[in-house]
Homo-oligomer: A and B are copies of this chain.
């Protein structure tokens, strides 16, 4: 089985059973929210989406569930400031991170991109991160003047 393949929402209950997890409404809704989003949502963004389905869920549960999922490997965690973001694309890929608005855009890695020699073999997550200004932020003159340019 390909560990980098994203599982679908339909497959989620079986995933829970296979890992001895209860398939709660909270877990399902959190997984579906991240799986369906293309925005690499933060905890709070995920919480906002999940509350529409499960109004009683707390932010703390979203934290716990997202980190649990990251530890189990069905989603990846992108350490970013001010807040970590989550993603279900598990294969090696590149992230463009806008320094102004925080937007994250995915790119596939070039074919045949090799890791540097000497890197530990049992890697969990490969991430090429490029930061700068996204098109929207670059277009805004007001933001441009605030942003230090080189």
Main secondary structure of the interface of A (DSSP, over half): loop
The oligomer's copy count stands at 2
Name the segment of A7-15, A29-37, A57-65, A109-117 touching the other chain.
A109-117
A73 touches B150 (CB 8 A): yes
A56-79 to B contact mask, C-beta < 8 Å, 1/0:
000000000000000111000001
Which 10 residue pairs spanning A and B have beta carbons closest together? Answer: A107-B116, A127-B129, A123-B132, A79-B81, A71-B148, A125-B131, A124-B132, A94-B116, A128-B128, A123-B130
Please report A residues at the B interface, Cβ cutoff 8 Å. Answer: 3, 71-73, 79-81, 84, 94, 96, 99, 107-110, 113-120, 122-135, 138, 148, 150
